[in-house]
A and B are shown apart, each in its own frame.
Chain A
Amino acid sequence: MAERQSAIEVSSLEKSFDEVEAVRGVSFEVAAGEVFGFLGPNGAGKTTTINMLCTLVKPTGGSARVAGHDVVRERDEVRRNIGLVFQDPTLDGYLSAQQNIELHAELYGIESSLVPERMRQVLEMVGLWDRKDTPVRTFSGGMRRRLEIARGFMHSPRVLFLDEPTIGLDPQTRSSIWRYIRQLKEAEEITIFMTTHYMDEAEFCDRIAIMDRGEIVALDTPEALKARVGADRVKIQTEDDEAAIAALAGRFGIEANVAEGAVAFLVAGGEEFVPRLFAELGVPIKSVSVSRPTLDDVFMSYTGSTIRDAEDSYAKHANKIMMQMMSGGRR
């Protein structure tokens, strides 16, 4: 396999379920060793795309190659080369951590003599080696997710797919999971393809694709995406907000609105704009703040909705998973 080969090549990939077009012709490439993120609101088609790349769902149009193999024609080849961490837990709670990993090693046909050492390594990386004999049903959500990541990594995949790897976890656990993911990536130069709806996590990716209604609406590095918004967010507090808004519209042609007690607007080169603002606004200004666009702004500018809307529905989803886990522990 050539070193320069793309880890993932997708061209005009489509999937419709009956009447619904879940994914409408997405194309992108992921280079080997890259951390590639899919960002988008609930129902944008992220999971469907991941499922097609993992050979779990057959595309209805277009093509995709993962680790150099076609996802439809060379399904087994693709499966041998990928690791998966799903949104929903896929562990056997009745088995210990070690038994779950061993089962995986057997299913993937890993050479038996290498299994113990490899298993020790992946379990140590996620800090679960000393808990290897504990039944998984007693694990916390964060521990389970770490174990799933270790398992997805067990067979040295060339591409690791992570579907919302930190969903429903507290910030502390999320950050430790990220630490593990990066450590694993550095250890074996694998390509990571993930979906997330956490903006701060998307910052960790080398490149991000923003997906909305089944289409990729933007694809670039986080920095470039933010630069492409092309404007900074300026907030001013004034003696007379009404007059300030009128003045902004009249003198600068800028549309502003009042948010959280301040007049807010977007303008290119915000810092250079501030002196002009003081000189020409004609309304006394009490304070000014200028901020760089965040991924939230990027997201908003491309999809027209905030990620918070999506997060609300995800929170419900996360609750459902928790309920399932709890009842699963008692089965």
Chain B
Amino acid sequence: MSAIETTLAPAGPPQPDVVRVHVPPRSLRSELRAMKIVWRRDLIRFRNDRIRIATTLVQPLLFLFVLGSGLQQISSAGTHGVDLKTFIYPGVICLAVMFTAMFSAASIVWDREFGFMREMLVAPVSRSSIVIGKCLGGATVASIQGVILLALAGAVHVPYSPPLLLGMFALMLLLAFAITAFGVMVAARITQMQSFMGVMQMIVMPMFFLAGALYPVTHLPGWLTVLNRIDPLTYAVDPMRRLVFKHLDVSAAAHEALAPGVTWFGWTVPAVLEAAVVLLLGLAMLGVAIWEFGATE
């Protein structure tokens, strides 16, 4: 007691003009503000973390330029003169978006481990606002990462056409949102970073390989066709590839061989429906994530 007292300086005079604030009752406006700040936090953190921006680009660039260039010689016979890099470009963009979205979702696990989650959970806002803000934040950040790859379109012989770039961006946003929602849903259950990363790796890599990011989805062995059609990522890669090929000047044979579109029992699925599949899955996982976070005390 005495040791403490001697070090206590006299308390300052009471602040004469305290700025008093008050917390308004919950309203749509306050929910939107909460959503927005959770979203903005992801952006601020992304901007501050340049190393992450660089490291998450390494893998996609390796796939695109090293694997793409290396396999070009043996694949040129089958690509009808189309550069392999051009062919795998949409798949590689999906990979980059997936990784970034996954890292964004992983911050939920960090937030819980390091306590910040509590700051958000005790705030007088609904948990769905926080989860939605988080998913939108992850989607935005991952799309920005995708834009960096989009800027490289010229290097893989893809034209910088505004409708193409806009369409690609919209599809990236959709995929990024769905993957973040998926990550947040998983993060609600897993409390340790290492397990989370393990689970995500275990799911993301097979999803990537099965999605046809590196090969056309027709004339596959039966088992692979089934797995490919089940893989949700297929429905993000395929519309992107169809969009790219629509803007390429290639032969009909090349188009038919490389970007034929996903078929369900012989019926070619429209690109819009494919995008809708991704959106619906994303929304469903968002719903599960909200439910999971709402259920925690």
Does B124 belong to the interface (CB within 8 Å)? yes
Please name all residues of chain A whose beta carbon is closer than 8 Å to the beta carbon of B194 when the two chains form the complex: none
Complex contact B33–A84 (CB within 8 A): no
- B124–A103 CB distance below 8 A: no
Whether the pair B15, A107 counts as a contact (CB closer than 8 A) is: no
Asked whether B45 lies within 8 Å of A94 as measured between CB atoms, the reply is: yes
Question: Scoring A residues 154 to 183 as 1 if CB is less than 8 Å from chain B, else 0, what string do you get?
Answer: 111000000000000001101110110011
Provide the residues of chain A in CB contact with B15, threshold 8 Å.
121, 125, 187
B113 touches A58 (CB 8 A): no
Scoring A84, A108, A199 by chain B CB atoms within 10 A of each residue's CB, the highest score goes to A108
Q: Given A108-B123, A182-B11, A324–B48 Cβ distance below 8 Å?
A: no
Q: Mark A55-80, 1 if CB is under 8 A from B, else 0.
A: 11110000000000000000011011
Q: A88-B115, A109-B124 are in contact. Are A114 and B41 (CB under 8 A)?
A: no
Which chain B positions have C-beta within 8 A of A90?
Answer: 115-119
Quote the shortest CB–CB distance from A5 to chain B (angstroms): 17
Give A156 to B20 CA distance when docked, in angstroms. Answer: 6
**Bound Cα distance A87, B114 (Å):** 12
Interface readout for B93-129 with A: 1 if CB under 8 Å, 0 if not? 0000000000000000011011111111111110000
Asked if A79 and B124 make an inter-chain contact with CB atoms under 8 angstroms apart, the answer reads yes
Complex CA–CA separation, A103 to B125 (angstroms): 13
Report whether B115 and A84 are in contact in the complex, using a CB–CB cutoff of 8 Å. Answer: no
Does B148 interact with chain A (Cβ within 8 Å)?
A: no
A4 interface residue, CB < 8 Å from B? no
A95 within 8 Å of B (CB atoms): yes
B122 with A84: CB separation less than 8 A? yes
- Alpha-carbon separation in the docked complex, A182 to B3 (Å): 18
Contact flags A185-203 to B (C-beta < 8 A → 1, else 0) = 0111000000000011101
Chain B residue nearest in CB terms to A104: B119
Number of interface residues of B (CB under 8 A): 47
Find out whether the CB atom of A89 lies under 8 angstroms from the CB atom of B114. yes
CA gap between A76 and B26 in the complex, in Å: 8
Confirm or deny: B25 has a beta carbon within 8 angstroms of a beta carbon on chain A.
yes
B34 pairs with A106, CB closer than 8 A: yes
Q: Which residues of B contact A89 (CB under 8 A)?
A: 114-115
Q: For the complex, give the distance between the alpha carbons of A34 and B215 in Å.
A: 70
User: How far apart sit A108 and B23, CA to CA, in the bound complex (Å)?
Assistant: 6
> Are B122 and A80 neighbours in the complex by a CB distance under 8 Å?
no
**Taking the nearest CB of chain B, how far is it from the CB of A221, in angstroms?**
15
**A92 interface hit (Cβ, 8 Å):** yes
On whether the beta carbons of B122 and A55 are closer than 8 Å, the reply is: yes
Question: Is B7 a contact partner of A186 (Cβ separation < 8 A)?
Answer: no
- A110 CB–B CB distance under 8 Å: yes
**Cβ contacts under 8 Å, B1 to chain A:** 199-200, 203
User: Contacts A118-B19, A187-B15 hold; do A76 and B124 have CB atoms under 8 A apart?
Assistant: yes
B18 within 8 A of partner (CB):
yes
Binary contact track A306-328/B, C-beta < 8 Å → 1, others 0: 00000000000000000010001
Query: What B residues does A79 contact at CB under 8 A?
Result: 122-124
CB neighbours of B117 from chain A (8 A)? 90
Q: In the assembled complex, which residues on chain A have CB atoms less than 8 Å from the CB atom of B19?
A: 114, 117-118, 121
A interface footprint on B1-36 (CB within 8 Å = 1, 0 otherwise): 101100111011011001111111111011001101
* A81 adjacent to chain B (CB < 8 Å): yes
Q: Answer whether residue A302 sits at the interface, using C-beta atoms and an 8 A cutoff.
A: no
Assess the B114–A80 pair: CB atoms within 8 A.
no
**With a CB–CB cut-off of 8 A, which chain A residues contact B4?**
171, 174-175, 178, 200-201
User: Quick check: A175 and B14 within 8 Å, CB to CB?
Assistant: no
A129 at the interface (CB under 8 A from B): no
Interface residues in chain A, defined as those with a beta carbon under 8 Å from any beta carbon in chain B: 54-58, 76-77, 79-81, 84, 86, 88-95, 99, 102-104, 106-111, 114-115, 117-118, 121, 125, 135, 154-156, 171-172, 174-176, 178-179, 182-183, 186-188, 199-201, 203, 324, 328, 331
- Counting from the closest, the 10 A-B pairs by CB-CB distance are A106-B37, A109-B30, A107-B123, A79-B124, A90-B115, A80-B23, A200-B1, A90-B119, A118-B19, A175-B7
Residues in B lying within 8 Å of A, measured CB to CB: 1, 3-4, 7-9, 11-12, 14-15, 18-27, 29-30, 33-34, 36-37, 41, 44-45, 48-49, 110-111, 113-125, 297
